[in-house]
């Protein structure tokens, strides 16, 4: 995959029981900063329909470089540290192909 190829990322998140609202609040505070990053095309959090403590973050980035810079940014490093207060475990990050295969 070329560095200039747009990337789509799905991130599965889970909070400890009853702490879903903390995830939403943290995301709401962080999202405007991330959405303003160069190369951010989409950054949207969704709840899993039957579980208020599970989420899917849908991200789209203009390039692998934009995603790398996002991951290394000071605000993401700080958010990752703060998220440990309510997360049930590490995020599951899934990089998907930019176009459907079927």
Residues 28-46 have pLDDT tens digits of 999 999 999 999 999 999 9
Residue 7 has a pLDDT of 94
Helices (H), the chain: 20-35, 64-72, 74-83
Average pLDDT, the chain: 95
Instruction: Tell me the two tokens of residue 61.
Output: 């980035």
Residue 3 has a pLDDT of 60
- Tens of pLDDT, residue by residue over 8-20, are 999 999 999 999 9
Query: Whole-angstrom Cα distance, residue 59 to residue 14?
Result: 17
Inform me whether the pLDDT recorded for 70 exceeds 80: yes
Query: Whole-angstrom Cα distance, residue 15 to residue 52?
Result: 9
User: Which helix (H) or strand (E) covers residue 92, if one does?
Assistant: strand 92-96
Taking the whole predicted model, whether its pTM rises above 0.85 is answered as: yes
Judge whether 12 and 94 are in contact, CB under 8 Å. Answer: yes
User: Which helix (H) or strand (E) covers residue 62, if one does?
Assistant: none
């Amino acid at each position: 995959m070329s560095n200039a190829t747009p990337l789509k990322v799905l991130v599965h998140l889970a909070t400890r029981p009853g702490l879903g609202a903390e995830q939403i609040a943290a995301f709401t505070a962080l999202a405007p900063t991330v959405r303003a990053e160069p190369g951010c095309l989409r950054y949207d959090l969704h709840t899993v329909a039957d579980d208020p403590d599970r989420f899917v973050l849908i991200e789209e980035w203009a390039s692998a470089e934009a995603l790398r810079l996002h991951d290394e940014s000071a605000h993401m490093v700080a958010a990752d540290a703060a998220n440990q207060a309510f997360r049930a475990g590490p995020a599951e990050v899934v990089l998907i192909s930019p176009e459907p295969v079927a």
